Amino acid sequence: MRVEIFCDGACSGNPGVGGYGTILRYGDNEKELSGADGDTTNNRMELSGALAGLEALKRPCEVVITTDSQYLVKGMTEWVSGWLKRGWVNSKKEPVVNRDLWERLLQQSRVHRINWQWVRGHNGHPENERCDALARAAIESYRRSN
């Protein structure tokens, strides 16, 4: 089973109110997810968007995740192995920021076969633009309800 996940995060203030938008696609079927947090960062929302998609899957899948976050892609494809070797300490010998979310992503990467793809943000990629709109709508919804 091959699933596509598109995700984006946004933050109004950094830290501040943040949101994420995610699209899951399996064949002709699509599902949109979004969420928000009142005190977060853009990077946490980028990670949360990917997690929302992965954690919505009900069985192990081949997954292509498309994001405009180099932080997310490089974290999962380049940096995480070093963090694990160093006990969740980065190259500057400081604790890895957002470790809780990285650990959840790592757990999901053990369940699913994931291919991480980066696209330039705000560059006309239809799914990336939609995810951005979902993230911003989640921020506005959060503000209205709090």
Whole-angstrom distance, CA of residue 88 vs CA of residue 86: 6
Instruction: Give catalytic status of residue 132 as yes or no.
Output: yes
Which is nearest to 6 in space by CA: 61, 64, 47, 57?
64
The verdict on whether 28 is a catalytic residue reads no
Catalytic residue flag (residue 30): no
Residue of 4, 37, 127, 132 with catalytic role:
132
Question: 37, 68, 75, 127: which is the annotated catalytic residue?
Answer: 68
Q: Which of 4, 37, 46, 127 is catalytic?
A: 46
Q: Is 112 a catalytic residue?
A: no
> Residues comprising the binding site for Mg(2+)?
8, 46, 68, 132
Rounded CA gap, 8 and 47, in Å? 8
Active-site option among 4, 9, 49, 53? 9
100 is catalytic: no
Residue numbers in the known binding site are 8, 46, 68, 132
- CA–CA distance, 6 with 23 (Å, rounded to integer): 5
The residue annotated as part of the active site, out of 30, 78, 122, 140, is 122
Q: How big is the CA angle at 5 (ends 141 and 7), to the nearest 5 degrees?
A: 40
Q: Is 122 a catalytic residue?
A: yes
User: What residues does 113 pair with on adjacent strands?
Assistant: 62
Estimate the crossing angle of helix 42-56 against helix 99-111, to 10 degrees: 30
Active site residues: 8-9, 46, 68, 122, 132
